[in-house]
Amino acid sequence: RGAGRGKMAAGGAAEAQARFGHSVKGLLSEKVTSCGTDVIALTKQVLKGSRSAELLGQAARNMVMQEDAVLHSEDSLRKMAIITTHLQYQ
């Protein structure tokens, strides 16, 4: 009779261990999936940040070009004002 209880206890322990192992595998699987999702989200964010930096750089270059054009226009207007003044004296 005592030997039968030992077998049942061992069988119950084995079953509990199997359930625990299955539970741990499920949790690990969820964690791996969650980490994979996080890595994908992080990658998208890095790419978006990289694209944003690229666009900001392009915008800065365009502003410099516009500033040069404005400065050139200012210079031209000053020269035309001087020429207009000279023509008025003649």
Burial 43-59 (b: 16+ CB within 10 A, else e): eeeeeeeeeeeeeeeee
pLDDT digit string, tens, across residues 29-67? 888 988 999 999 998 888 888 888 889 999 999 999 999
Residue with tokens 């410099």: 64
pLDDT class of 15 with cuts at 50, 70, 90: confident
Tokens of 88: 């008025």
